[in-house]
Structure 1
Amino acid sequence: MIFSPQSKVWIYQSNRKFTDQEATEIREILDRFIEQWTAHGKQLKAKSEIFHNYFIVLTVDQEVASATGCSIDSSVRVIKEIESKYGLDLFDRFNMAYKIEDEVHVVTKEDFETLISIKKIGLETVVFNNLVQTLEEFEQKWEVQLQDSWHKNVFAEQLNS
């Protein structure tokens, strides 16, 4: 299925890595949800994906039908159900994800600052920009070096010390 580059994207980052079993079960939950996901009675052209066993990404092709308040609320409900069932935190925006040698790590904002201060994380470190809004942005600007992300501004003081 081909999606428009302007498709809407929502990223939910876990505070911990999903086990392989959890990832399989979460995919099944999301697949069932996507099959019945509608907006004002119209089926949404949507997909769900899991990346790195840390990220749930929902995509809706707005050219077919736009997600509405009620349909977005229903997606949040299913994410909260997953969160509750597996003891995850999928809504904490202060958890920072980064990648070193193809391994994803998620830490608190404070720990991220410390890792920058002790030079374990630098401008070339790959970070995850979960603020992307469209499929095109997701594909081009989700996994980027810290120097090319909003992280650079937020953590400028630590980077410059």
Structure 2
Amino acid sequence: MNISENSRVWIYQANRILTQEEEITILQMLNNFTAEWLAHGHALAAIGEVLHHQFIILSVDEQVAGATGCSIDKSVNLMKEIEQKFNLNLFDRFRIAYRQNEEVINCSREEFEDMIKSGRVNENTLVFNNLINNRNELQTFWEIPLKDSWHAQVFSI
């Protein structure tokens, strides 16, 4: 499905790398969910995907039909189901994902802070900004240098 670049996104970062089998099953769960996802009886134009073996992303084209509180709650319930099924944590907002060479790594806030202090991570390290709002931002502002992200304020960069 083609989806508008203005589509709203929700990013859930797993606390570990997913296996290929887990990704396949999660994609099936996402496809089944988005095919049936409704808001006040209206079908939502939505897609789900897994990126970098650790980010689960839901997108909704709100120009077709807007997500509502109840429909968003249903998506959160799906993520909780995925958490339980695969022994994941998708709601830990203190995990930081960053790129080291071609590898995407995620770690705790404390580990990331230690890497900054030791110089293994610096202001030019690419970090993932999971607070973005739409598909356009996913393409342009999701993976950005530490110095340009909200992380810079948290870690006093």
Please state which band the TM-score falls in when normalised by the shorter chain.
Answer: over 0.9
* 3-state secondary structure, aligned to 1:79: helix
What TM-score do you get using the length of structure 2 for normalisation? 0.97
1:107-149 Cα offsets, whole Å, 9 max, x none, are 1000000000000101111100000011111111001111111
Aligned residues: 157
Q: Which amino acid aligns with 1:130?
A: N
Which residue is 1:30 aligned to? 30
Correspondence list, 1:140-155, <5 A = 140-155=140-155
Q: Which runs of 4+ in 1 moved over 4 A?
A: none
The alignment's C-alpha RMSD in Å is 0.8
* 3-state secondary structure, aligned to 1:35: helix
Correspondence list, 1:2-21, <5 A = 2-21=2-21
Q: Which amino acid aligns with 1:24?
A: I
Gaps of 5+ in 2: none
Q: CA deviation at 1:89?
A: 0.2
What TM-score do you get using the length of structure 1 for normalisation? 0.95
* 3-state secondary structure, aligned to 1:21: helix
Correspondence list, 1:36-115, <5 A = 36-115=36-115
Q: Percent identity?
A: 47
1:14-59 Cα offsets, whole Å, 9 max, x none, are 0000011101111011110011001011110000110011100000
Distance 2:121 2:155 in 1: 11
